[in-house]
Amino acid sequence: MISQLFILSSKGDHLIYKDCILTGGNFVDVFVLQTHKDLHFIHIRQGGLYWVATTTEDTSPFTIIEFLNRLTALVKDYCGSLSEKSVQMNFALIYELLDEVVDYGYIQTTSSDVLKNFIQTEAVSSRPFSLFDLSNVGLFGAETQQSKVAPSSAATRPIQSSREQGGKSEIFVDVIERMSVVVGSNGVLLKADVEGEIRVKCYMPSCSEMRIGLNEEFSIGKSQLRGYGAAVRVDECSFHQAVRLDEFDTHRILRLCPSQGEQTVMQYQLSDDLPSAPPFRLFPTIERDNGGRLLMYLKLRCDLSPKRSVPLYLVVLCAFSLSQELSSPDQSTELKPQSRAVVWQIPRFPGGTQLSALFKLEVPGLSSASMLEVGPVGLSFELPKFTATGLQIRFLRLSPIQPGPSQRWVRYVTHSDSYTIRI
């Protein structure tokens, strides 16, 4: 049983507080400053906020953690996004959700389909959504709909906005992959893992069955490799409990009846067997000059298609003051003494090109041991319209066909979870 629920900002500021069983005590400061012998604090961090539940009973902590994760997903669906600002602007809506979700400390439901019949408070958005606002163009759009592009805020609006838009039927599908790469100092790829998921966000007043077609040559494990086409392989794969797999083995089709809001319908993983080379390669050179400075020359190459361009953050761990020479005036560097790092920011890095930077480091008492203190290099990036595994959505169909106009959007994004290059 849950005694209290509260949401705190990253600084510990009090945003939301609910006393589920009228204990009469406010334990927000207790959580931030100290512990309490008779109270158990269980929390997660999502959207830069702490989501905390307290309990005095012998309750399973995994149950509370699962509930908090579902609560954050619920708040994200109804508020549009998770942030300190959205929580502050929608505190009345969140309190109404908590009243329906938890009754005297006992969890009732976290289903958006059930709650939509009871929640009446409309969400407050920091920026009203409009399909005619193309000033901030996003990346949504299947290859068969390249002429139609949705604003980047389209899939981050509250699910109740469908009421205001007269029940407009829209579905957004994200294929999101996270790369973990380790490259040795000799340039040999030591590790290359990909974790991916397919997310569906539904804004349909009446949800019908949806069929998602994946690559026909998609296989799970090497034993399932098919004998035709370019293989798209993953090592492990799991599905949401609402997904029906009766057509998956033969036609690679996922069937489900999506509920309003966001849900992850499929998760997969691939380890140490990427179908293509990693997108970035680094060629470092470190030496000493006659003035006793440490010279670090970095040549970075982007092996993506020339049609692609991506912003990139490169972090070099070191502990010295520096001057630099960059290959382009729009690039910038910053020394961060607290984190012992140099940040090289590249706002636009076209595929098929290479950039270079020369860092001159002032090192007191420079020695051979000082040169060993430099590195490793970490890269941070996000690649739109790209999947490292090659997974693609063949089609996205609704049955029966919706009575009104419907929009279906697909987005592919690959970003760096941990991309490390040793020097």
Spell out the domain ranges in the chain.
Answer: 2-116, 170-276+386-421, 280-384
Tell me how far apart the terminal alpha carbons of the chain are, to the nearest angstrom. Answer: 52
What is the model's pLDDT at position 141?
38
C-alpha 128/C-alpha 133 separation (Å) is 10
Give 170-276+386-421's CATH code, choosing from 2.60.120.200, 2.60.40.1170, 2.30.130.10, 2.60.40.420. Answer: 2.60.40.1170
- With b for 16 or more beta-carbon neighbours within 10 A and e for fewer, the 127-148 pattern comes to eebeeeeeeeebbbbbeeeeee
Residue 2 in this model has a pLDDT that exceeds 70: yes
Homologous superfamily, domain 280-384 = Mu homology domain, subdomain B (2.60.40.1170)
Contact 18, 9 (CB under 8 A): no
Give the pLDDT score at 175: 93
Quote the pLDDT of residue 197: 94
Of the pLDDT bands very low, low, confident and very high (cuts 50, 70, 90), residue 187 is confident
Distance from CA of residue 72 to its chain's centroid?
A: 14
Looking at the chain, the whole-number percentage of residues with pLDDT higher than 70 is 77
Over the chain, what HEC string results? CCCEEEEECCCCCEEEEEECCCCCCCCHHHHHHCCCCCCEEEEEEECCEEEEEEECCCCCHHHHHHHHHHHHHHHHHHHCCCCHHHHHHCHHHHHHHHHHHEECCEECCCCHHHHCCCCCCCCCCCCCCCCCCCCCECCCCCHHHCCCCCECCHHHCCCCHHHHCCCCEEEEEEEEEEEEEEECCCCCEEEEEEEEEEEEEEECCCCCEEEEEECCCEEECHHHCCCCCCCEEECEEEECCCCECCCHHHHCEEEECCCCEEEEEEEEEEECCCCCCCCEEEEEEEEECCCCCEEEEEEEEECCCCCCEEEEEEEEECCCEEEEEECCCCCEEEEECCCCEEEEEEEEEECCCEEEEEEEEECCCCCHHHHHCCCCEEEEEEEECCCCCCCCEEEEEEECCCCCCEEEEEEEEEEEEEEEECC
Burial class (CB in 10 A: 0-12, 13-18, 19+), 345: middle
How far apart, in whole angstroms, are the C-alpha atoms of residue 114 and residue 7? 23
Cα-based angle 268, 272, 277 (whole degrees, multiple of 5): 100
Please tell me the predicted confidence (pLDDT) of residue 178. Answer: 93
CA distances from 186 to 3, 297, 303 (A): 56, 16, 18
Position 265: which residue type?
V
Cα 280 from Cα 183, distance rounded (Å): 10
Give the model confidence (pLDDT) of 366-414 as tens digits: 666 666 777 788 999 988 888 999 999 999 888 766 555 578 889 899 9
Residues in contact with 168: Cβ distance below 8 Å, sequence separation at least 6, in sequence order: 162, 203, 404, 405, 407
State both tokens at 247. Answer: 């057509």
Matching CATH topology for 170-276+386-421 and 280-384? Answer: yes
pLDDT value, residue 132 = 37
Amino acid at 282: L
Residue 166 in this model has a pLDDT that exceeds 60:
no
**Per-residue pLDDT tens for 324-341?**
666 667 788 887 777 778
Tens digit of each residue's pLDDT (9 = 90 or more) over 248-261? 988 899 998 888 88
Q: Which of the residue ranges 136-150, 316-330, 380-394 has the most confident prediction, judged by mean pLDDT?
A: 380-394
Tokens encoding 171? 């579905």
Give residue 147's pLDDT band: very low, low, confident or very high (50, 70, 90).
very low
For residue 353, CA distances in Å to 300, 302, 304, 350 come to 9, 6, 9, 6
Residue 272 has pLDDT above 50, yes or no: yes
What residues are paired with 420 via a beta bridge? Answer: 182, 378
Q: Exposed/middle/buried for 327, CB within 10 Å: 0-12, 13-18, 19+?
A: middle
For 2-116, CATH gives: 3.30.450.60
> Rounded to whole angstroms, how far apart are CA atoms 421 and 383?
19
- Rounded (5°) CA angle 156-413-145: 75
Distance, CA of 316 to chain centre: 24
pLDDT at res. 198:
94
The phi-psi region of residue 261 (left if phi > 0; otherwise alpha if psi is between -120 and 50; otherwise beta) is left
**pLDDT for residue 136:** 36
